Structure 1
């Protein structure tokens, strides 16, 4: 009888370990959490996951209409292509530290999925499809950028959603600043002044930082699906995106930013 409490404790520990190691544990736990459970914990920035055993395939009917919904993109690593040390070297992507906390993921992104023969095409329609992120390069430079999936147009080969499906396409990167933003010298696009107070600008040397304009960029992204649950329509995998950084309303040169991370989504009939 005296061993019963010890046995119960051992069983509870085993169940805890099994739950924590299960591939779908995060998705189940996140769905059952309340706002107070998630607030200020960073859990809302994570994407749901699928177990390693999810290796199914979902055949698609060309006459039916589909949508990819609840798409979640969680950046785990960011690289910035900086200037080379000398002209003989090529610029390389260097790993950078993500400074932004808890608000780096895109979530609830959705769009139409069309089947044409042995080809798939995806058109993004909306969702929480952009986030403002800042990273720190090894040399100490901070690089802000807009992580986005706006107007993402991608194609993939095949007539089914499977663990070998890879979507590749381009998307729009909106300006990091809005027209009403003022830089430290009070210069903006629609408000403020166009030059530093005290000196009237003269010549082209002052134009670069003084004249603001709204500049969109273009990024490319690849979504690689590695897990598919045919019973629920869920899929998961990884993504890689390359896009420009912030240009301070067109007054600075954009740097190339490479983002990699986790992917999650769900296939539904429209």
Structure 2
């Protein structure tokens, strides 16, 4: 009897452990701050728990919004410059060094319909995250994961959102550094020194000039979003995305490289 009681207690503890570990991101709303802190659950996008393939019709004479848009990266790849002229640049998978602050969340914008199809214009939200990726050789590549001012449209002339709908569009990529950032030699765009002190002999070198003259560079990225689930009752939609954008240039001190981010997204359509 004692052995049986121990087995029952162990099974109860084991099942409780599995339940806690298998908690879906949609259960976050029922948890307290102390229960979420340090677990990484806040970095996960909501999910549509049941697999659905409904449809949402966007009427041209009405106003709509896409709200609570959340993009959660699941993989990163970097395409560095090739070592030789005959070599072809290709993406190399990297490991994120940024832990629990990699997700873009609570983004919203207008959703319209016309003769060409559907168009989404991003307007507000937590639409950027400072991220760093570690390459196999040890190089660390920082970049600003973002979809600022995204304008994405469907490729098919339809006013219906379903599991075959794809959005594609371009967005702005601001500088990873701000104007008040100072490099190790105290140089900055709006503060600090204008040039590196005690290096007058190299003042005319192109490399040093690029380091001295700081710039707030704004790049451009491109994203493709494939919808796989639609709940027409709640207006929820979910799917996968692939985004390609430039990396940080250290305020003009080095050339940007392409970053490929893949992951999952969630959003909700509602009348404006």
TM-score over 0.5 for the pair: yes
2:232 paired residue among 223, 230, 233: 230
Structure 1 length-normalised TM = 0.90
Q: CA deviation at 1:253?
A: 0.2
Structure 2: distance between partners of 1:198 and 1:155:
53
Alignment gaps of 5+ in structure 2:
none
Q: Which runs of 5+ in 1 are unaligned?
A: none
Q: SS of the residue aligned with 2:27?
A: helix
Match of 2:188 in 1: 188
Q: Which residue in 2 is equivalent to 1:210?
A: 212
Q: 1:207 to 1:66 in 2, by over 3 A?
A: same
Measure, in 2, the Cα distance between the counterparts of 1:268 and 1:9: 47
Give 4+ residue runs of structure 1 displaced > 6 Å after superposition.
Answer: 3-21
Secondary structure of 1:249 counterpart = coil
TM-score w.r.t. structure 2 length?
0.90
SS at match of 1:87: coil
- Contact 1:52/1:227 (<8 A) preserved: no
Aligned counterpart in structure 2 of residue 137 of structure 1, from 113, 132, 135: 135
Residues 1:140 and 1:252: Cα distance change in structure 2 (over 3 Å): same
Check conservation: 1:100, 1:134, Cα contact below 8 A.
yes
CA distance in 2, matches of 1:63, 1:265: 22
What residue is the counterpart of 2:147 in the other structure?
A: 149
**Alignment match of 1:84 (pick from 82, 85, 101):** 82
- Residues matched between the structures, number: 266
Alignment of 1:1-270 (within 5 A): 26-51=24-49, 53-117=51-115, 119-156=117-154, 157=156, 158-200=158-200, 202-205=203-206, 206-270=208-272
Q: Distance in 1 between matches of 2:209 and 2:90?
A: 30
For 1:241 and 1:179, locate their aligned partners in 2 and report how far apart those are by CA, in whole Å: 26
The 3-state SS of whatever aligns with 1:188 is coil
